[in-house]
Amino acid sequence: MSNNKSTIDFGFSEVPLDEKVKRVKGVFDSVAGNYDIMNDVMSMGVHRIWKRQTIDLSGVRPGHKVLDLAGGTGDLTKAFAKRVGKTGQVVLADINESMVRVGRDRLINEGISGNVDYSITNAEALAFPDNTFDLCTIAFGLRNVTNKDKALEELYRVLKPGGQLMILEFSKVTNPAFAKLYDFYSFNILPKMGKVIADDEASYQYLAESIRMHPDQETLKQMMLNAGFDKAEYINMTQGIVALHRGWKY
């Protein structure tokens, strides 16, 4: 983010603050129908393993209330719905109506209903009361938020005391040699694959750039502590391509 408070990064570009939300919406309106394919392309198929590790570490139990923010097509919501059971609740939330619609339709088609609700809401002003959820997750969504500090404060607010936030997000690769290969893939191959698969090179270019502009592991950990979390830590996955940050509210 630039020092000029009136602008913010959109990939490698600088745009007015109020413009980023519109542009991100445009990206996800464009990719919504191919979102699962997009995740496969961006992660070389490994996103399913990263999500499974997140679910396994969540500690979700029957009766829990879970917020799956930036829930996409519902991978995490589906798994959590099975774990919370009939007495629990999962809310799939996203600022983008197209994404919520795709996720809802997919989950209903797969027979996931009864304990899942849907919400179109902004991460910076969550439409939920204080102390509502046992667990909040945001997977591959925080980097698209304009004011990440505000979003972290909101996630802290809606967590119950004893609750946990889990942020699964592309991060900073820890191995320099591997980082060069990953950069080549991200900026030379990924956008071209986006053009072939979804006829949308520009959106995939933005997604690659947005990863590089996202705070690194230690910076995000400190941001969580600054937002009020009493404890924060992270786990690198696949040499730091992705990091799972966890924060607790005591």
What's the CA gap between 211 and 49, in Å, rounded? 19
State the first-to-last Cα distance of the chain, in angstroms, to the nearest integer.
Answer: 31
Specify the pLDDT at position 5.
60
| Token output for 79 | 């798994």
Reading the block at residue 140, the tokens are: 């591959």
Model pLDDT for residues 194-205, shown as the tens digit of each residue: 888 777 888 878
For the chain, how big is the Rg over CA atoms in Å?
17
Q: What is the pLDDT of residues 103-160, one digit of tens each?
A: 999 999 999 999 999 999 999 999 999 999 999 999 999 999 999 999 999 999 999 9
Burial (Cβ within 10 Å: 0-12, 13-18, ≥19) of residue 88: buried
Relative to beta strand 159-170, strand 133-139 is parallel
Residue 1 has pLDDT above 70, yes or no: no
CA distance 109 to 103: 10
Please indicate if the annotation marks 73 as binding a ligand.
yes
HSE-up of residue 46 (Cα within 13 Å, Cβ side): 14
Weakest-pLDDT range from 30-34, 44-48, 95-99, 134-138: 30-34
Residue 67 per-residue DSSP state: E
Cα distances (angstroms) measured from residue 175 to each of 93, 178, 179, 184, 188: 34, 5, 6, 14, 20
Would you say 94 is a known binding-site residue? yes
Q: What is the DSSP string of 165-225?
A: EEEEEE---S-HHHHHHHHHIIIIIHHHHHHHHHS-HHHHHHHHHHHHHS--HHHHHHHHH
Confirm whether residue 127 is marked as ligand binding. Answer: no
* Nearest Cα residue to 249 out of 167, 148, 157: 157
Strand bridging mode 65-69 / 89-94: parallel
pTM of the model: 0.90
What are 19's strand-pairing partners?
Answer: none
pLDDT value, residue 153: 98
Domains delineated in the chain: 7-174+205-248 (3.40.50.150)
